[in-house]
């Protein structure tokens, strides 16, 4: 026990009790494309890990150490289960190894099982359909992107340490309640960032495990094909409605201690970005703009920001198309005369 404690102390930045009986584990890889991610342990006799994290050796070891440590502080505590927030690779990659090495029971929702069952199902779920491809890229652009895509697909498994999950142990439903000793945690659907995103809420303590939906210092990534701005806004509003919400423990960064304020800030930010896109299109000379031209205006430099930013711009255009605020005419995006404020 002493050996474990001293080892954990060395890794103290990776591991912290954020609430009595709730521990945050930080997995930090050295690669720039893989952000540090938080996993959370709810300690108890049938304790739960929220999210699977990365699947590389170091990340799996950190989780193992954390489980040992938590179990060493209270002889009644056992960590037996892991619940996934959503099927992005920094969250699910480690699940299978946690199941195999630490005998954790994997808990997924039905839609998650269809995404991460194997490589083929994962690629299928993340493919942009014909409509999106036609709208937002040319054949030349798609051809030019092929070598990078090929490289990414080859590297993808290695980057995150991915193991797919063909055999989850328990299927949970949105709105189910999970009990850890005397505390009740309710599963709350939270689509928008990712279609199968769920959150976990304890009303008595006012603690929400928000996954990627509400982060303290960054705005969560949005992009096709599995993000949806309308759903995301609804998720943010549903978080605002939670009774006694005191703190959000997110998947990246520190706890959000002023949740309502932060959620309202994110809502305002998304509204202002949506207005910005609409107004650029509405004010374009010759009555419209191509997607490429819009991208050049928003991100003039061809760098990582532009690559990441493409996602939220597409998701925002799709939102405005659904509201009939925009339409496509061939390759041009044209604004319909609407009161944009009433649509947000």
Binding site for Zn ion (CB under 5 A): 88, 212
How near is the Cβ of 160 to Zn ion at its closest, in Å? 12
SS3 content of the chain, % helix, strand, coil (to 5): 45, 20, 35
| Nearest residue to 233 via CA among 204, 213, 247 | 213
- Report the helix count and the strand count for the chain, using DSSP H and E: 12, 15
How near is the Cβ of 226 to Zn ion at its closest, in Å? 9
Q: How far is CA 285 from CA 227, 280, 292, 298, in A?
A: 30, 10, 15, 16
* DSSP 8-state code for residue 287: G
How near is the Cβ of 65 to Zn ion at its closest, in Å? 25
Question: Which residue lies nearer to Zn ion by CB, 126 or 138?
Answer: 126
Question: Which residue lies nearer to Zn ion by CB, 89 or 288?
Answer: 89
Question: Which residue lies nearer to Zn ion by CB, 90 or 318?
Answer: 90
Question: Which residue lies nearer to Zn ion by CB, 77 or 164?
Answer: 164
How near is the Cβ of 343 to Zn ion at its closest, in Å? 26
The two tokens of residue 272 are 């202002």
Question: Which residue lies nearer to Zn ion by CB, 56 or 212?
Answer: 212
User: From CA 64, how far away is CA 101, in angstroms rounded?
Assistant: 9
Q: Which residue is nearest to Zn ion (CB)?
A: 88
Question: Which residue lies nearer to Zn ion by CB, 212 or 228?
Answer: 212
How near is the Cβ of 220 to Zn ion at its closest, in Å? 7
User: From CA 247, how far away is CA 284, in angstroms rounded?
Assistant: 43
How near is the Cβ of 94 to Zn ion at its closest, in Å? 14
- In total, the chain counts a number of residues equal to 344
Residue 40 · residue 22 · CB < 8 Å: yes
Question: Which residue lies nearer to Zn ion by CB, 71 or 163?
Answer: 163
Task: Tell whether omega for the bond before 225 is within 30 degrees of 0, i.e. cis.
Answer: yes
Q: How far is CA 261 from CA 193, 214, 236, 265, 268, in A?
A: 20, 11, 12, 6, 11
Residue 45 · residue 79 · CB < 8 Å: no
| Nearest residue to 332 via CA among 297, 292, 295, 300 | 292
Could you give phi then psi for residue 168, rounded to 5 degrees? -65, 155
- DSSP string covering 67-108, please? HHHHHHH-TT--EEEEE-S-S-HHHHTTHHHHHHHH-PEEEE
How near is the Cβ of 85 to Zn ion at its closest, in Å? 8
How near is the Cβ of 263 to Zn ion at its closest, in Å? 17
Question: Which residue lies nearer to Zn ion by CB, 56 or 90?
Answer: 90
Question: Which residue lies nearer to Zn ion by CB, 192 or 288?
Answer: 192
How near is the Cβ of 342 to Zn ion at its closest, in Å? 31
């Amino acid at each position: 026990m002493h050996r474990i404690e001293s080892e954990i102390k060395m890794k103290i930045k990776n591991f912290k009790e954020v609430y009595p009986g709730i521990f945050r584990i930080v997995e930090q890889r050295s690669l720039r494309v893989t952000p540090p991610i938080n996993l959370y342990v709810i300690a108890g006799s049938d304790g739960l890990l929220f999210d699977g994290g990365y699947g590389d050796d170091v990340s799996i070891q950190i989780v193992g150490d954390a489980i040992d440590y938590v179990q060493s502080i209270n002889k009644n505590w056992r960590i037996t289960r892991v619940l996934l927030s959503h099927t992005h690779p920094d969250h699910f990659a480690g699940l299978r190894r946690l199941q195999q090495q630490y005998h954790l029971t994997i808990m997924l929702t039905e839609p998650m099982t269809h995404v991460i069952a194997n490589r083929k199902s994962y690629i299928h779920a993340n493919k942009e359909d014909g409509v999106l491809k036609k709208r937002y890229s040319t054949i030349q652009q798609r051809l030019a992107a092929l070598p990078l895509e090929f490289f990414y697909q080859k590297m993808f498994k290695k980057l995150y340490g991915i193991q797919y999950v063909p055999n989850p142990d328990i299927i949970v439903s949105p709105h189910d309640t999970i009990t850890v000793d005397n505390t009740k945690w309710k599963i709350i659907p939270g689509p928008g960032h990712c279609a199968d995103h769920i959150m976990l809420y304890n009303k008595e303590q006012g603690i929400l495990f928000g996954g990627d939906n509400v982060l303290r210092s960054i705005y969560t990534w949005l992009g096709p094909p599995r993000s949806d701005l309308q759903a995301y806004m609804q998720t943010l509003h549903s978080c605002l409605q939670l009774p006694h919400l005191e703190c959000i423990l997110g998947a990246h960064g520190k706890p959000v201690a002023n949740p309502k304020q932060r959620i309202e800030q994110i809502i305002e930010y998304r509204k202002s970005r949506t207005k910005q896109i609409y107004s650029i299109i509405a004010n374009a000379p010759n009555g419209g703009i191509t997607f490429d031209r819009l991208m050049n205006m928003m991100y003039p430099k061809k760098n990582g920001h532009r690559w990441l930013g493409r996602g939220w711009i597409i998701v925002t255009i799709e939102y405005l198309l659904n509201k009939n605020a925009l339409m496509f005419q061939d390759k041009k995006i044209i604004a319909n005369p609407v009161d944009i404020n009433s649509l947000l």
